[in-house]
């Protein structure tokens, strides 16, 4: 077994990126992901890497875009408002089919929200794309520090393999909770494509130069041809990378559908229910694009009742309802079901504790 360390999800992200061979980090401080930029600024110079503190997330995303054009593994990390600022660049990266990784450690929105506290209010933006142009990103959502470490390695492999931007998602809870993480190096097939397009100076490529203006121009085609080709590509990628997790669903008659940190709380709630003889189960999409619609439908229809639990006002629930095709009822435990501690300063906080989830779901009438 590899070495185990006690680190939070943010440090696990940074260490996972370095384990994946990323040596180029461009970022701007924002809570609650500051531990990533701090770690990178400290560690990258020690291993011959590049750390640039940008002036904005807009600049971060374009350093990632420019860096990706050199063919090297590059990344940035941010939190919700910063990710919104990156949307234009995300669209350009998708158009150019550049491999890169962006981490979003979510906090509550909209706007400045709670200034850096927990939230899962970016689901639509992440899963459906907040930028223009009908693009797709692979989006993988971690629910533990270990997954942060592992998913970074997975993300860089996918990015290179499919020439896509991969988003690794965590949130305040995952990012700032310390857990034991096994620093294991994951093995991937040796099947990554070459990068003859890399802009590193033609001298390094036998005098053959690369140039790029836009996807349609680069491919000598028309925009409709581009969309036809890239959509087929996305469909293939969706089949290859789809990930999900079921928990105690074999005999369940009520399914909690959730994602990220909320899924872990749901697992706890399921355990509580099981001790009282209630046959609950839980399901999460690990990749929120592609979304495991068929897999969710199978367990959801079998259970007959579905409750979506998310630290948001109801975003994931739209995809859950879509998956259920109106055949079984779908209810929601949203952010306002949170346990809210007393006191003025705590007024905006609270958490969806497992006990809260259990009580909210138990008293639902079907």
**Which residues are at the interface with another protein (CB under 8 A)?**
24, 26, 50, 52, 54-56, 58-59, 62-67, 69-70, 72, 74, 88-89, 92, 199-204, 207, 209-214, 217
Show the DSSP H helices in 73-130 as ranges. 80-85, 87-96, 123-128
Bridge-based pairing state of the strands 306-309 and 254-257? parallel
Q: Smallest gap, in angstroms, from Cβ of residue 286 to another protein?
A: 30
* Cα distance between residue 64 and residue 25, in whole Å: 8
Question: Please, which residue, 111 or 207, has the CB nearer to another protein?
Answer: 207
Whether a cis peptide bond, with omega within 30° of 0, leads into 110 is: yes
Least distance from C-beta 59 to another protein, angstroms?
4
Integer Cα distance of 316 and 331 in angstroms = 11
Q: In angstroms, give the least distance from the CB of 31 to another protein.
A: 22
Taking residue 218's Cβ as centre, other Cβ atoms within 10 Å add up to 16
Distance of CA 306 to the CA centre of its chain: 23
In the complex, minimum distance from the CB of residue 186 to another protein, in angstroms, rounded to a whole number: 25
Q: Rounded to the nearest 5 degrees, what angle is found at the Cα of 34, between the Cα atoms of 288 and 77?
A: 40
Contact criterion met (CB below 8 Å) for 303 and 273: no
User: Which of 45, 46, 39 has the alpha carbon at shortest distance from 17?
Assistant: 39
Nearer to another protein, 54 or 121 (CB): 54
Query: Coil, strand, or helix at residue 22?
Result: coil
Residue 25: CB minimum distance to another protein, A: 10
Q: How far is CA 144 from CA 68, 128, 153, 286, 307, in A?
A: 28, 23, 15, 12, 22
Cα 160 off chain centre by: 17
Nearer to another protein, 59 or 287 (CB): 59
User: Which residue number, 55 or 187, has a Cβ lying nearer to another protein?
Assistant: 55
Would you say 113 or 133 has its CB closer to another protein?
133
Kindly state the tokens that stand for 105: 């450690």
Q: Give yes or no for a contact between 181 and 5, defined as CB atoms under 8 angstroms apart.
A: yes
Residue closer to another protein, measured from CB, 55 or 250: 55
Q: Nearest approach, Cβ of 65 to another protein (angstroms)?
A: 6
Backbone angles phi, psi at 283, to 5 degrees: -145, 140
Cβ distance to another protein smaller for residue 76 or 170 = 76
Smallest distance, Å, CB 67 to another protein? 4
Length of the chain: 366
The residue (of 45 and 329) whose beta carbon lies closer to another protein is: 45
Cβ at position 194, least distance to another protein in Å? 16
């Amino acid at each position: 077994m590899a070495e185990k360390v006690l680190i939070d999800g943010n440090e696990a992200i940074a260490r996972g990126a370095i384990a994946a061979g990323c040596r180029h980090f461009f970022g701007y401080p924002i809570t609650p992901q500051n531990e990533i930029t701090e770690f990178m600024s400290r560690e990258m110079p020690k291993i011959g890497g590049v750390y640039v503190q940008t002036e904005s997330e807009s600049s971060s995303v374009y350093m990632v875009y420019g860096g990706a054009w050199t063919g090297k593994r590059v990344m940035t990390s941010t939190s919700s408002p910063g990710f919104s600022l990156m949307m234009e660049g995300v669209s350009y990266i998708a158009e150019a089919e550049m491999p890169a990784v962006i981490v979003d450690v979510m906090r509550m929105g909209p706007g400045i929200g709670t200034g850096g506290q927990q939230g899962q209010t970016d689901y639509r933006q992440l899963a459906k794309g907040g930028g223009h142009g009908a693009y797709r990103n692979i989006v993988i959502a971690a629910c533990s520090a270990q997954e942060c470490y592992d998913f970074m390695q997975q993300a860089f492999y996918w990015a290179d393999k499919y020439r896509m931007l991969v988003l690794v998602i965590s949130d305040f809870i995952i990012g700032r909770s310390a857990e034991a993480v096994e620093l294991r190096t994951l093995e991937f097939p040796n099947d990554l494509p070459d990068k003859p397009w890399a802009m590193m100076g033609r001298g390094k490529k036998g005098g053959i130069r690369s140039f790029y203006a836009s996807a349609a121009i680069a491919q000598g085609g028309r925009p409709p041809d581009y969309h036809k080709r890239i959509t087929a590509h996305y469909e293939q990628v969706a089949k290859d990378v789809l990930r999900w997790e079921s928990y105690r669903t074999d005999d369940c008659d009520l399914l909690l559908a959730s994602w990220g940190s909320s899924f872990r709380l749901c697992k706890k709630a399921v355990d509580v229910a099981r001790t009282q003889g209630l046959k609950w189960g839980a399901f999460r999409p690990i990749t929120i694009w592609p979304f495991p619609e068929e897999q969710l439908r199978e367990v959801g229809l079998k259970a007959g009742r579905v409750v979506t639990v998310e630290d948001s006002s109801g975003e994931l629930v739209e995809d859950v309802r879509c998956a259920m095709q109106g055949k079984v009822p779908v209810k929601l435990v949203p952010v306002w079901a949170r346990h809210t501690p007393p006191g003025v300063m705590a007024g905006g906080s609270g958490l969806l504790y497992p006990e809260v989830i259990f009580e909210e779901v138990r008293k639902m009438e079907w």
